[in-house]
Amino acid sequence: MRVLSVASEIAPLVKTGGLADVTGALPAALAGMDVHMRSLVPGYPAVMAALQEAETVHAFDDLFGGPAVLLQGRGAGLDLLVIDAPHLYDRPGNPYLGPDGRDWPDNPERFAALSWVGAHVAAHSAGAWRPQVLHGHDWQAGFMTEYLPRMGGTDVRSVLTIHNIAFTGTADPGRLHSLRLDPARFNSEGYEFWGGISALKAGLMSADALTTVSPSYADELMTPEFGMGLDGVMRHRQAALTGILNGIDEQVWDPATDPAIVPFTDPASKAAAKAALRVELGLPQAEGPLCVIVSRMTHQKGLDLVLEALPALTAAGGQLALLGSGDPVLEQAFLQAAADPNIAVRIGYDEALSHRLIAGGDAILVPSRFEPCGLTQLYGLRYGTIPVVALTGGLADTVINASPAGLARGVATGIQFAPVTAVALRGALMRLATLYADRDTWSRMQANAMAHPVGWGQSARAYADLYARLTRTSSPKTSR
């Protein structure tokens, strides 16, 4: 089975969030299931620097404003197709944002180009390789199924994965020509969205199959609360939608071999990682649990609720260590809260520090207002760091609540709370403090968490089965 993954980021080469972790891990996870996945990504500076054994497989005279070439090669252990288009991608820093922190004004064209090249490879091949399935991720790949039939690729099946429906890839209808879109499709059955153009809606309406990153999020997308204006579209395409949980790379996130931490293999030996983290952050000894947060600082992530609940946590003897960046108001509020000696805040992103936080913490807080899947709670489970999560999306699907029934059966792996309010979070933190004080129950929960499956095996099988079902309904051309 040959699958082309089309994505705007891929770990470890370029990453702003969980999307990159998924696109970076899925090829290796599928390799053992007779699926050969190549990944098409923009030629950002970091990607170009990592590309090895590169050869040109196609040249574009005009790729949305300038010449470009498609390169085939390897990078970070991945089979890559890279779009070398300096006029679109040779820019410093974040893939989506300019130095002023705002979206690049030509983002619609930059990622339409990604979709265009993905459709071109599916229809015409890259060298001697042609995919049977075109698998795009989020709005940046949304137009691929608009372009594919026009290029003659109707025998190739398509999948679009929704990692976060909040980002719809909208543009003014005046860009129809620059985006190379068929004006006849600017309607409710195509890519029109509240009077504008939506790359995400384009893919949602025309991909053969839709997936999202947890079963609960798939259900939530049908509702006005979570559908972000696309709930009607999701109900219309419900039969095509499957929720498949994300996994994590268990080699990168392995407490026994992680080079960033004091290694450990069980809850009892985790104490050294906690002691080292306290020294690094300047936190004193405390009677209560050390809670950690590794997160983008946005309204979605519910960190304003943490600020409201913090006094209750510290009054119960708990501590907080946070690593993140984002909303300047939230950043400043947490920096001010760090005047308390039991609160440590680091603004920015540091991959190694994120490992040390998750390894050294007793609990990891994920109070998101919505969370398609979430990965940090999975990292927490892997490292015996008890997740405290809102009852939403993938957080609901991956954490077994320490309810009376869960505790009685000895299966609890974390704490869930609802509704997503400061009052409910405060209650969850009080439950956390109580459970932490019961050393036998706490050790059992940690052991349960570390034994909980968080890898890609089951999820990769679900993707492989989906690809197989799709290709049984068509007759793809063989590789040239």
Buried b (16+ CB within 10 A) or exposed e, 78-105: bbbbbbbbebbbebeeebbeeeeeeebe
User: Is 267-451 a CATH 3.40.50.2000 domain?
Assistant: yes
CA pair distance 44, 23, nearest whole angstrom: 16
Cis peptide before 149 (omega within 30 of 0): no
pLDDT for position 473: 62
On the question of a common fold for 2-247+457-471 and 267-451, the answer reads yes
**pLDDT 10s digits, 251-284:** 999 999 999 999 999 999 999 999 999 999 999 9
- Residues flagged as binding site for ADP-alpha-D-glucose: 15
Say what the pLDDT of residue 349 is.
86
**Residue 427 — pLDDT band, cuts 50, 70, 90?**
very high
Domains of the chain: which residue ranges?
A: 2-247+457-471, 267-451
The stretch 20-46 carries a mean pLDDT of 95
Instruction: Return binding residues.
Output: 15
For domain 2-247+457-471, which architecture applies?
3-Layer(aba) Sandwich (3.40)
Tens-place pLDDT, residues 184-212:
999 999 999 999 999 999 999 999 999 99
Contact 176/108 with Cβ under 8 angstroms?
A: no
pLDDT number for residue 93 = 85
* Residue 135: alpha-carbon gap to chain centroid: 15
Question: What are residue 239's phi and psi, to 5 degrees?
Answer: -65, -20
Tell me if residue 250 falls in helix, strand or coil: coil
pLDDT in tens, 150-191: 999 999 999 999 999 999 999 999 999 999 999 999 999 999
Q: Which pLDDT score, from 0 to 100, does residue 101 have?
A: 86
Which pLDDT does position 454 carry in this prediction? 96
| Mean pLDDT, residues 292-318 taken together | 97
Per-residue pLDDT of 39-81, as tens digits, reads 999 999 999 999 999 999 999 999 999 999 999 999 999 999 9
Mean predicted lDDT score pLDDT of the chain = 96
SS3 430: helix
Q: Report, as an integer, the average pLDDT of 235-241.
A: 98
pLDDT digits (tens, 9 = 90+) for 77-133: 999 999 999 999 999 989 999 998 899 999 999 999 999 999 999 999 999 999 999
Q: What is the mean pLDDT of residues 363-384?
A: 97
Copy the structure tokens of residue 350: 């540091």
Question: Which residue is it, tokens 């050969």?
Answer: 36
What mean pLDDT comes out for the span 417-441? Answer: 98
Q: Pairing between strand 170-171 and 78-84?
A: unpaired
